[in-house]
Amino acid sequence: MKKIEQATILKNECYVNNIYDMVIFAPEVANIAKSGQFINVYTGKSDMILPRPISLCEINKEEGTLRLLYQVVGKGTQYFSTLPKKSNIQILGALGNGFYIDENHKNHILIGGGIGVPPMLELAKNLQGNIHIFIGAKSDPILVKEFQEIGVTVTIATDDGSCGIHGTVLDAIQKEQPLADMIYACGPKVMLKAVSEWAEQVQIPIQVSMEERMACGIGACVGCAIKIKKKNTNDWENLKVCKDGPVFWGNEVIWNE
């Protein structure tokens, strides 16, 4: 059973706008972690008892470090942004099921919307073959250079047209029509639904990482349950994003809930 443990902050800097780049020393978690998993980060404050789930952007097993890219949206992430280098935070992980990787697949489409982009970096580092990422943003796409540096083809779509294609990631994909054996996506639910419906039309399997609102983050409260179709039936079941996910097959998610 995983235990809450202490991690040391090695870096915690503003990356762009209200997004922060944190690197923590957590060798035991780094050792078992895989792409698509997340950690629960605790504030240690009595008025913020619930953990904040954050995806693993990079895992460095040799150095025992994890990289987290997080957006300041509320009290918890605001608190994290104030933590200095060399201070400690409590974490639990690595949690959830990561992405399924099939070594026979040679063409991969990655889709990241907004703060759903970070887990795609560790995933890209673990895939072999041609990798094309579609990054969706309001105006400032993140991690573009870092994907390019590891040989990933990058296409950007922005809401305001200030960078890349003016439109959604789906507009960009439909324009470029890339080849793929597998699609992996993380971002807002509306984006995951749209790309899953497109993937079904073009008959390419898609894995979606659901960033549902969580409470306990460890499978104890059903606060993060979503409806998933049962295999080979018309029935469905409630599964927990924190424990059974966060990665699910796109064609198994019941989207209109």
Ligand X SMILES: Cc1cc2nc3c(=O)[nH]c(=O)nc-3n(C[C@H](O)[C@H](O)[C@H](O)COP(=O)(O)OP(=O)(O)OC[C@H]3O[C@@H](n4cnc5c(N)ncnc54)[C@H](O)[C@@H]3O)c2cc1C
Residue 211 C-beta: closest distance to ligand X, Å: 4
Q: Would you call 47 helix, strand, or coil by DSSP?
A: coil
Nearest to 66 by CA among 86, 42, 37, 43: 37
- Distance between CA 165 and CA 157 in Å, rounded? 5
**Quick one: 195 or 247, whose CB is closer to ligand X?**
247
Q: Which does 170 bind (CB under 5 to 8 A by kind): ligand X, ligand FES, none?
A: none
The tokens of 188 are what?
């807002």
The answer to whether the bond into 94 is cis (omega within 30° of 0) is yes
Q: For the CA atoms of 121, 122, 127, 130, what is the dihedral angle to 10 degrees?
A: 10
Instruction: By CB under 6 A, tell whether 22 contacts ligand X.
Output: no
39 binds, among ligand X, ligand FES, none (CB under 5 to 8 A by kind): none
The answer to the question of residue 143 lying near ligand FES (CB under 6 A) is no
By beta-carbon proximity to ligand X, the closer residue of 54 and 59 is 54
Select the residue interacting with ligand X from 74, 86, 128, 162 (CB under 6 A).
74
Q: How big is the site for ligand FES, counted in residues (CB under 6 A)? A: 12
Ranges within 175-214 binding ligand FES (CB under 6 A) = 214
- Using the rule CB under 6 A, is 59 a contact of ligand X? no
In DSSP terms, 70 is beta-bridged to 20
* Interface residue with ligand FES, options 36, 217, 245, 246 (CB under 6 A): 217
Which residue lies nearer to ligand X by CB, 101 or 221? 221
Q: How far apart are CA 208 and CA 111, in angstroms?
A: 9
Question: Which letter, b or e, does each residue of 95-120 get, where b requires 16 or more Cβ atoms within 10 Å of its Cβ?
Answer: bbbbbebeeebebbbbbbbbbbbbbb
- With CB under 5 to 8 Å by kind, the binding choice for 50 among ligand FES, ligand X, none is ligand X
Distances in whole angstroms, Cα of residue 156 to Cα of each of 31, 141, 178, 188: 32, 7, 14, 16
Does 42 engage in binding with ligand X (CB under 6 A)? no
Q: Which residues sit at the interface with ligand X, rule CB under 6 A? A: 38, 50, 52-55, 69-71, 73-77, 115, 118, 211-214, 246
Q: Which residues sit at the interface with ligand FES, rule CB under 6 A? A: 214-217, 219-224, 240, 242
